[in-house]
Structure 1
Amino acid sequence: MSLGGGRSPDEFRASEPLKDQVGLLGTLLGRAIRERGGQETLDRVEALRLACREAARSGDPGPRRRAAGRIAELDLEAIGWLLRAYTTFFRLVNQAEQREIVRVNRERSREGGLDRPRPGSIEEAVAGLADRGLDAGDVSALLDRLEVIPTFTAHPTEARRAPVLGKQRRIADLLTALQDPGRTPQEEDATQDRLFDQVALLLATREVRSERPTVRDEVEQGLYFLERSVWDAVPRIHEDVDRAFRRCFGEAPDLVAPFLRYRSWIGGDRDGNPNVTADVTRWTLATQRARAARLHARELERLRDELSLSASEVEVPAELTASIERDRRELGVPEAALSTHQDEPYRQKLTCMLVRLERVREAAERRARTDGQPEPAGARTDVAPAKSDADETPDGAWSAGELEADLDLIDRCLRRTGFEAVARTGRLRRARCLVRTFGLHLASLDIREHSGMHERAVASVLRSAGVTPDYASLPEATRLEILDRELRKPEPLRPDGSELAAEARRVLDTLGVVREAVRRDPRSIGAYVVSMTHELSDILEPMLLARVAGVWRLEADGVRCSLDFVPLYETIEDLRAAGDRLRSLLRHPLYRLQVEARGSMQEVMLGYSDSNKDGGYWMANWALRRAQEELGRTCRDEGVELRLFHGRGGTVGRGGGRSNRAILAMPPVVQNGRFRATEQGEVISFRYSLPEIAHRHLEQIVSAVLRGAAASEGAPRPADGDPARAELLEGMAERGMAAYRELLEAGGFWTWYLRATPIRHISRLPLASRPASRQAGEIEFEGLRAIPWNFAWSQTRYLVPGWFGTGRALGPLVEDPRTLEACRAMYREWPFFRAVVDDAQREMGRARLELSRMYAALAEAEGGGIHARIEAEFERARSALLRITGQRDLLDNEPVIQESIRLRNPYTDVLNLLQLELLRRWRAAGDTAESGAAREDDRSRLAGEILLSLNGIAAAMQSTG
């Protein structure tokens, strides 16, 4: 893994293909560094890596200290070169590892053959159900109620710029080409030349954005992955289902229900982000509709090429002819457009459909060009939507249902005339699957807003309408009386728009956009998520605002509303009370009518990030587990279907980890075939950057949801519902939270955190359109978001949120032989406990307290004992985990990850040493009295290199927050 000298076989014990590719990439990067930065730079890169490797191997910190001393002697330009070299190296290695995942998965599929399905595949899940005695009808019924809804969010926003992502994608493609066994020597040379070009360009591409991305930039980023990976992955998943049925039951259903659909928060999540305005949301919806029309048009063009059936050779059903004539009249399609396919009725029909799609696209693009432009201040005083609901011409008003009906017509006609095989397996099946999944909205857009914003908005509306002057000061019972009364009135409140507070205008404008969107396409909007839901009024308030905006109304036969209102429980207190609070909500007569209007299904979101920041690792995991159980029982008792929405992040401290394992570890009472989870920031880039990895990710999720739903109908798992084990976990959670809280409340902790970590620089890193803190000004614990909180711990190699408290939680139990054996039994038998233990040891395996100690030295005056406290807890945790798992060292159960960490550490250590030197210089520059333009320029350059170091360590650790 050396740079410029190929690989060192003694230090890299991965597969031969991966060793070869990493060695080649290292050689090419070394050549690029030498050509641009000189041999001295390359020698410096290698010398620092070898010093850090020696320190890691010997346990002697001396070589690392000497490396730090050499870095201290370098000027800023030399440090910048080192940062670029190491960051680029990790960009390349990450791509090579992704390609290796693809290669290994393909190899396993080939080895398994037809008789042994690949582990985690849909075929394995279906075969397992067949072995349990389920027939094709039983499995089809399970699939009919299956809902898998990945949800894209922008945060923590991908640290890489679009040009960096593009080059990495091209490098991945070239690495794939090099694995082609049929390539000629000339082709291999040419491919390596192109690969070097991309490596050299990547090295010279600016890593850090010059300014924060806009919400539109984030929307485009999400659309990139929807178009490039998700669009092709979804039909492949449906093909997997078809293939599994045929192999297990001999036949497959015609077209299963669209169980896999996508949603997005990007452009709709306004919680704490003032940049997500109503106009931006309207632009997002129009842009997604235009992209969907364009993608479907591409599919129909390919289908038109395929369906070249001639009327002189095959029967033409009357309904196809009638449909073409109707299209011709309605659309005014020029004769010339159809004459090209004079004797080809299927091509004529598809031409008419393409004309409709083109008009949909043009109408949506016109709306996108005119929407999203902020109106002049004071331009409106009403509370109605700014744009007309009828802003789209009939030509552009084609619905997804009409598109699907036309494809179904073609399917019927083909089957009726002897082309059933073409209809069943060709491009038509793919096109039908895509329309049923993505419609003309691509991904349903969720709206999220903070409960406090609703409270202020309702207070303003009620004051303006003369209902009550100070709603916010009223007790909960009085609030509920007012909300219930106003929701039941025949006419909605008509507040004077000129008197409304800015918060009220913001929320009502957003709901006006929702009203427009659902009238055009009911599937364009997903749910309305209320963050920080504490009370019943927190859900009734947005309902009242929706009533004012014309989105919600009560009629004689029930509620009319196209929105699901989703409570988000994210603090430990709220998670503990989640079951009772949902029961109160479902028993409220008006809200129960709302739930019935939405098919008697209630979605509830659980926040993994804030619960960890609030209560620490063990309490967050246990509180989330208990909340799931209570919510499942509540909905079962109230006769309501539950869909849990898991707000997971990428790191363990934010609920990250293996999705399929997390699904199978859920309580049986919520294993109902409905699964929704966020796909966030850099996690999107990893899971969806390559179509093959996207497919593998999705097949594992679908397989796990299917298996879990089937298992929940059988006998309960022995570990679930065991009161003795629940009591043990409750004690672990309480002790773990006590340790975590003691850390946060230790004298000088917050000042220590601010000085020992690069959190102030993280808040300035232009990663996202959303501010890093909920409040402007000085960074405070309560206002700091969970993402930068985790990011800072990751940069310093502590990774506290993913394990701290484990020693206190488990320590007393492993000292008693009886409870030690109970813990070992839980680890063997209980997927939930095993997941929590293994996630903790994975984070501890990635931690590097030898480096963390050097960050702590930056703040010893503020919190001299903080590092010692963390280190002591680490050793207690390590000892307890090893006794429970029976391992000799952390991650012995995951040798591939263990080896990857070992190999990455020397390179990552150098990046940490570079960052530490930059932070010292920043502090020194801030403490000096020297000022002036030249000094400010130096600080600006220094700040830029610090930001680059954040990106570099994020690439090395493969996570931001």
Structure 2
Amino acid sequence: MAATAPQQATSSAAERHSAVSEMPDELRADVRLLGELLGRVIAEDGGPDLLADVERLRKAVIAARRREKPVDEVAEMVAGWPIERAVQIARAFTCYFHLVNLAEEHFRIRTLRARDTGEEPLPESLDAAVAELKNDLGAEELTRLIAELEFRPVLTAHPTEARRRAVVTAIQRVSAQLGEYNSPERGAHERREAHRRLLEEIDLLWRTAQLRHTKLDPLDEVRTAMAAFDETLFRTVPRIYRSLDAALAEGSGTREPLARAFIRYGSWIGGDRDGNPNVTSRVTREAVLIHAEHVLTALENAATRIGRTLTASASYGTPGAELMDALAGATDDHPELAFELGKRSPREPHRQWLLFVAARIAATRRRDLDLAYRSPDELLRDLRVCQASLLSSGATRQAYGEVQHLIWQVETFGFHLAELEVRQHSQVHAQSLEEIAAGERSERTEEVLATLRMIAWIQERFGVRACSRYVVSFTRTSDDIAAVYKLAEHALGSRAPVLDVVPLFESGEDLANSARVLTGMLELPAVQRRLEANGRRMEVMLGYSDSAKELGPAAATLKLYDAQAELAAWAVANDVRLTLFHGRGGALGRGGGPANRAVLAQAPGSVAGRFKVTEQGEVIFARYGHPAIALRHIEQVTNAVLLASTPSVEARTADAAARYRRVADRVAAASEQAYRSLTEAPGFPEWFGLVSPLEEIGSLRLGSRPARRGLGAPRSLDDLRAIPWVFAWAQTRVNLPGWYGLGSGLLAATEPVDGGAPGPGLDELRQVYKEWPLFASMLDNAEMSLAKTDRAIAARYLALGGRQDFADQVLGEYDLTRQLVLAVTGHSRLLENRRVLSRAVQLRDPYVDALSHLQLRALSALRAEGDLADDEHERLETLLLLSVNGVAAGLQNTG
């Protein structure tokens, strides 16, 4: 039934030819330019022979994909090079991928700008969402939905960014020079200089070590995440609000805004201590201080910049009395500062006032208590004094222009930038309570209590918004929630911090029991007090990574959907305003994929204008590394949140779920059975460790968190964290977590049931795909994962484990899944309807093949019997890790 490997290889070659021919001229020019410059750098540094070897391998893997050369010849070529030469070649292909990714990012930005003509709304934009909402909802309903809108992205302590920060910075410098080179405003001389600088920066990228030599600590991770805030998020947020405000009504900037600050950033980096002993109360304190330093610096700079522009003279408009009183008070309290500002800006009261505000923000950052603001609310009052005065003096555009942007930024980020969330395992809390009851406290229990005291300190210094959510992983009963409140009382008694304890449901069984746990939570006095104080708001987190690792992608998708539906119904029945926190990873095997499609596939009633989601690792920089891309991503998610919350969309989704649930259940049951038959088979964990670079991934020093629970080789999937599980499968070119079992599920849905009743058949499955967003999203994500899978390369990895039965099982399921996914979607080839993504995958595949062959050489030698000399082992491991880094860049995802 499945397509044969030769057929698939021929198809892949044809697909690559099609992808090359479809490459836009601008993108082709950038890729050619960057590739030629990299080749020049390689030849200058390593000699023409090195460049010749790189070209030999490049041409060989392309020929192998076209079936013009046996794959074995490629492997023999790679095996013939000294390890040092193989390492240099791996560096070359890795650098090439960094440059190709950069060229595609530039092309994407140009395309977004070209499409934004203003003649009609961009698809999945805020303009498009509001236009649709105005047709579907009454004015009152629309106003209510906008008032309740929330988007909460949470940067997480799961670092899956394989690139060193130094490499990321080097790529950003190349990006800047490429932008200069391509700018139509540049003359010939400026263009020549940009070309020279571009070559200089590519040369530096080539000379920058790809691998980390020291392990990251949690505060390194915090500082790395701050780059996204400094370079993108702070400036992008007001543009989002302005876009929504303009979509809601004409005259944005000349009237009171209709859009409110609906984005709230969170972070687990420096707060997530589940399985990471490196995150301590001291680290949490330092993380918050780093946040505050960055946001206060940004606010000070913004206030200074805007203040300097507010040169409206009092001669042309009478300032408000409240502003003049405030300036008089500032003169009384801080005469020297007020005198200096007045001297520099005579008869410019708004300029004087905003520069005084900037001075106060600077004092807040320095902890100069005489001048500092005590809270963001106090700063907002001063900004609104300025805004009101501008209005009264007739400067309406200044009042609702940049000053409004600054107000939105303060409302969004406060003085804490992102709410730091704490996470800890339920078992740790239970053991701590046992020790306290017994009068014996371990170092870990002392650390739990210190963390709770630190939360109280953060709230006293920066307010409750800065840190109040405490996520309990592996929540099984309401006792796991009660334990945190009990520990807080032990730590501080009546001075315990304000806590919103969030249950995290991860396993299939826990997801099924989630509503029962919430019912138990309602009986806890501490929870009752929080609900009374916060307007009956409650948050629940759903774990995508571990449920997918346990059940397989198809069964986990349905189990998560059921949990969402049940929790939404529970919230209505109990008068609770529930926010579901989606613990998604970046990779498809961990709940990743297009975020806007994922939102629209949620169970009816489970969104209700609120969406909270984790943003992990390389996803942070992919989505927030450039302002134009960040703006587009946030607009797409917000578009989906708004539309998913409307009665018409909810009704369509509910109807499709009811009609096709029987089919989905059959797919899920059979897919889970197929998945478990592989992953729970005796010897599977050991085999997985042999066929993948799982052991070596820990040496990449991706982050501060250990790659697995416990020590030694994994004995079961429970020993593995989801990130290395997905990362290792991606390296083998199998991508198993993203699709395995789905083929068996689809096949079972077409076969007779035990009683002899016929299955739905392909036609009905095609109908389900067209009408149920959840099913469509599941298949589309599997199709993306299959497209990044290479059967021929995968077979070479799977052969390393010495278990042909496992290898045959995996490859057979791949063939079946590929065939049936294509049959259900109606596509003649993978990603047929996703031209941009298809082109990117097909163009990369041969070059990823080159790195895979280099990795296979190293992995085979490291897995072979017999002792290796220490220096040879070290050189092989270097080659392996460089190839891992390169494959991650080529596939554009890790874990």
Query: Which residue matches 2:131?
Result: 127
- Counterpart AA for 2:866: D
Distance 1:212 1:166 in 2: 19
Q: TM-score, normalised by structure 1?
A: 0.88
Measured at CA, do residues 552 and 102 of structure 1 come closer, stay the same or move farther in structure 2, by a change above 3 Å? farther
Q: May I ask how many residue pairs the two structures share in their alignment?
A: 871
* SS, match of residue 586 in structure 2: coil
Distance 1:285 1:253 in 2: 33
Q: 1 CA distance for matches of 2:493 and 2:622?
A: 37
Give, in whole Å, the separation in 1 of the partners of 2:466 and 2:526.
25
1:672 maps to a residue whose letter is A
Q: Are 1:923 and 2:857 matched, yes or no? A: no
Match of 1:85 in 2: 92
> Counterpart of 2:664?
729
Aligned to 1:959: 893
Question: Residues 649 and 834 from structure 1, CA distance in 2 versus in 1: closer, same or farther, beyond 3 angstroms?
Answer: same
> How far is 1:274 from its partner?
0.8
Q: CA separation in 2, counterparts of 1:456 and 1:125?
A: 49
- Name the CA distance, whole Å, in 1 between partners of 2:246 and 2:405: 14
Aligned to 2:850: 910
Corresponding position of 1:864: 804
Relative to structure 1, the CA distance from residue 308 to residue 503 in structure 2 (aligned partners, 3 Å threshold; closer, same or farther) is same
- Which amino acid in structure 2 is aligned with residue 56 of structure 1? R
Mark the CA change 1:750 to 1:132 in structure 2 (over 3 Å): closer, same or farther: closer
Corresponding residue of 1:378: none
What residue identity is the alignment partner of 1:535?
T
User: Which of 488, 504, 512 is the matching residue for 2:445?
Assistant: 504
Which one of 673, 689, 701 corresponds to residue 609 of structure 2?
673
Unmatched 5+ residue regions in structure 1? Answer: 1-6, 364-391, 465-498, 554-559
Q: Structure 1 332/614 Cα, relative in aligned 2: closer, same or farther at 3 Å?
A: farther
Correspondent of 1:743 among 654, 660, 678: 678
Distance change (3 Å), C-alpha of 1:250 and 1:923: closer
Partner of residue 246, structure 1: 249
Report the Cα distance in structure 2 between the residues aligned to 1:8 and 1:551, rounded to whole angstroms.
Answer: 69
Match of 2:718, SS state, is coil
Partner of 1:699: 635
Is 1:534 aligned to residue 476 of structure 2?
Answer: yes
**Which of 196, 199, 204 is the matching residue for 1:196?**
199
Distance 2:790 2:823 in 1: 21
* Alignment CA distance shift 1:855-1:153 (3 Å): same
Residue 31 of structure 2 aligns to which amino acid in structure 1?
V
Aligned mates of 1:151, 1:828 — CA distance in 2: 32
Per-residue deviation, residues 476-535 of structure 1 (Å, max 9, x unmatched): xxxxxxxxxxxxxxxxxxxxxxx4222221111011111011122222114111111111
- Partner of residue 404, structure 1: 380
1:618-659 deviation per Cα after TM superposition (whole angstroms, max 9, x unaligned): 111111110000110111111101101000011110000000
Q: Is the 8 A contact 1:275 1:770 kept in 2?
A: yes
Aligned position for 1:772: 707
Aligned to 2:819: 879
Structure 2 unmatched ranges of 5 or more: 1-15, 752-757
Aligned partners of 1:706 and 1:722: how far apart in 2? 20
What is the aligned counterpart of 1:687 among 607, 623, 641?
623
Q: Does 2:19 correspond to 1:16?
A: no
- Once residues 288 and 336 of structure 2 are traced to their aligned partners in structure 1, the CA distance between those partners, rounded to angstroms, is 28
Give TM-score, length-normalised by structure 2.
Answer: 0.94
Q: How does 1:620-699 map to 2 (within 5 A)?
A: 620-699=556-635
Counterparts of 2:427 and 2:316 in 1: how far apart (Å)? 68
Aligned to 1:44: 53
Contact 1:617 1:653 in 2 (8 A): yes
State the structure with bigger RCO (CA 8 A, min sep 6), 1 or 2. Answer: 2
Shift of 1:754: 1.0
The verdict on how the C-alpha distance between 1:856 and 1:886 changes in structure 2, with shifts beyond 3 A counting, is: same
Structure 2 counterparts to residues 337-376 of structure 1, below 5 A: 337-363=341-367
Deviations 1:182-206 (A, max 9, x none): 3322222221211111111111110
Aligned mate of 2:413, from 404, 423, 438: 438
Are 1:65 and 2:89 counterparts? no
RMSD over equivalenced CA pairs, Å? 2.2
Write the distance in 2 (CA, Å) between the matches of 1:884 and 1:942. Answer: 44
Paired letter, 2:441: L
Identity %: 36
Q: Which moved more, 1:612-621 or 1:884-893?
A: 884-893
- Contact conserved, 1:51 with 1:63, CA < 8 A, in 2? no
Q: Secondary structure at the match of 2:764?
A: helix
Aligned to 2:835, which of 887, 895, 899? 895
Q: For 2:393, which of 417, 439, 453 is the aligned residue?
A: 417
Residue 543 in 1 paired to residue 485 in 2? yes
Deviations 1:692-728 (A, max 9, x none): 101110111111111222x237761165474452222
| Deviation for aligned residue 1:331 | 4.4
Most deviating of 320-329 and 71-80: 320-329
Distance (Å, rounded) in 1 between the aligned partners of 2:493 and 2:396: 44
Counterpart-to-counterpart distance in 2, 1:255 and 1:361? 31
Q: Secondary structure at the match of 2:862?
A: helix
Summarize the Cα distance change of 1:22–1:264 in structure 2 as closer, same or farther, 3 Å threshold.
same
SS at match of 1:606: strand
What is the CA deviation profile of residues 115-139 of structure 1, one whole-angstrom value per residue up to 9, with x for unaligned ones?
A: x11101101111111223533x543
Contact 1:242 1:253 survives alignment (8 Å)? no
Give 1:282 shift: 0.6
Please give the per-residue CA displacement for 1:796-817, whole angstroms capped at 9, x wherever unaligned: 0111100000111010324567
Distance 1:98 1:175, change over 3 A: same
Q: Give yes or no for contact 2:610–2:641 (8 Å, CA) kept in 1.
A: yes
- Picking from 692, 705, 708, the partner of 1:757 is 692
Partner Cα separation in structure 1 for residue 656 and residue 77 of structure 2: 58
Q: Is the CA contact 1:774–1:785 (under 8 Å) kept in the aligned structure 2?
A: yes
Q: Which amino acid aligns with 2:815?
A: E
> Matched residue of 1:893: which SS?
coil
Letter matched to residue 577 of structure 1: N
CA drift at 1:855 = 1.1
Q: Counterparts of 2:760 and 2:888 in 1: how far apart (Å)?
A: 42
1:542-567 deviations in whole A, cap 9, x for unaligned? Answer: 011122233877xxxxxx96321100
Structure 1 counterpart of 2:771: 829
What CA distance in whole angstroms lies between the structure 1 residues aligned with 2:444 and 2:308? 53
**1:937 corresponds to:** 871
Question: For the residues of structure 1 that align with 2:845 and 2:95, how far apart are their CA atoms?
Answer: 15
Could you give the per-residue CA deviations for residues 165-190 of structure 1, whole angstroms, max 9, x where no partner exists?
11211222223333323332222222
